[in-house]
Amino acid sequence: MECDVATAGNGEQALSAIRKDPPDLVLLDLQMPRMGGIEVLRALRKEGIDVPAIVITAHGSIETAVEAMKEGAYDFITKPIDANHFDIVVRKALEREGLKRELELFSEDADKRYRLIIGTSQKMKEAVETAKKAAISKATVLLLGESGTGKEVFARAIHNWSERKDQPFVAINCVGLSKELLESELFGHEKGAFTGADQQKKGKMELANGGTVFLDEIGDVSQELQTKLLRFLQEREFDRVGGVRPIRVDVRIIAATNRDLDGAVKEGHFRQDLYHRLNVVPITLAPLRERAEDIPILAHHFMDRYAKEAKKNFSEIVADALKQLCAYEWPGNVRELGNVIERAIVLGRGPRLTLQDLPSRVVASVARPSIDGRSYRDAMEYYRRELILVALERCHGNRAAAARALGLHEKYLLRLLKSLRIGS
Ligand X SMILES: Nc1ncnc2c1ncn2[C@@H]1O[C@H](COP(=O)(O)OP(=O)(O)OP(=O)(O)O)[C@@H](O)[C@H]1O
Footprint of ligand X (CB under 6 A): 70, 113-114, 116-119, 145, 147-153, 258, 334-335, 338
From the list Mg ion, ligand X, none, partner contacted by residue 116 (C-beta under 5 to 8 A by kind): ligand X
Q: Does 336 bind Mg ion (CB under 5 A)?
A: no
139 binds, among Mg ion, ligand X, none (CB under 5 to 8 A by kind): none
Stretch that binds Mg ion, among 52-60, 115-123, 149-157, 373-381 (CB under 5 A): 149-157
User: Toward ligand X, which CB reaches closer, 305 or 399?
Assistant: 305
Q: Is the Cβ of residue 152 or residue 206 nearer to ligand X in the bound state?
A: 152
- Of all residues in this chain, which one has the CB nearest to Mg ion in the complex? 152
Q: How far is the CB of 314 from Mg ion (least distance, A)?
A: 28
Strand 169-173, strand 212-216: pairing:
parallel
Could you say which of ligand X, Mg ion, none residue 331 binds, taking C-beta under 5 to 8 angstroms by partner kind?
none
> How do beta strands 75-78 and 53-57 pair?
parallel
- Give the Å distances, CA to CA, from 84 to 313, 346, 360: 21, 11, 17
For residue 189, the surrounding DSSP H or E stretch is strand 188-189
What does the buried/exposed string (b/e) look like for 146-173 if buried means 16 or more CB atoms within 10 Å of the residue's CB?
Answer: bbbbbbbbbbbbbbbbbebeebbbbbbb
Residue nearest to ligand X (CB): 150
Contacts of 351 (CB under 8 A, 6+ apart): 313, 314, 315, 316
70/66 Cα distance (integer angstroms): 6
Q: How far apart are CA 148 and CA 336, in angstroms?
A: 7
> Which one of ligand X, Mg ion, none interacts with residue 118, CB within 5 to 8 A by kind?
ligand X
CA distance 207 to 277: 22
Residue placing its CB nearer to ligand X in the complex, 204 or 291: 291
Applying CB under 5 A, among 71, 152, 206, 220 the residue interacting with Mg ion is 152
C-alpha Rg value of the chain to the nearest Å: 25
Examine residue 80 and say whether the peptide bond preceding it is cis (omega within 30 degrees of 0).
yes
Rounded least distance, CB 339 to ligand X, Å: 9
Distance of closest approach, residue 203 Cβ to ligand X, in angstroms: 22
Enumerate the β-bridge partners of residue 114: none
Count of residues making up the chain: 424
- Contacted by 338, from ligand X, Mg ion, none: CB < 5 to 8 Å by type: ligand X
228 binds, among Mg ion, ligand X, none (CB under 5 to 8 A by kind): none
Separation CA 411–CA 424 (nearest Å): 16
Of the two residues 155 and 295, which places its CB atom closer to Mg ion in the complex? 155
Q: Which is nearer to ligand X, 116 or 400 (CB)?
A: 116
Q: Please, which residue, 247 or 297, has the CB nearer to ligand X? A: 297
How far apart CA 135 and CA 331 sit, in angstroms, is 29
Q: By rule CB under 5 A, what count of residues binds Mg ion? A: 1
Beta strand extents in 338-392 (DSSP E only): 352-353
Of ligand X, Mg ion, none, which one sits near residue 200, judging by CB under 5 to 8 A according to partner kind?
Answer: none
- Nearer to ligand X (CB atom), residue 207 or residue 297: 297
Q: Considering the complex, what minimum distance in angstroms separates the CB of residue 333 from ligand X?
A: 7
User: What is the full DSSP assignment across 309-331?
Assistant: HHT----EE-HHHHHHHHHS--T
Q: Between residues 113 and 415, which has the closer beta carbon with respect to ligand X? A: 113
- Residue 159 CA, chain-centre distance (Å), reads 20
Interface with Mg ion (CB under 5 A)? 152
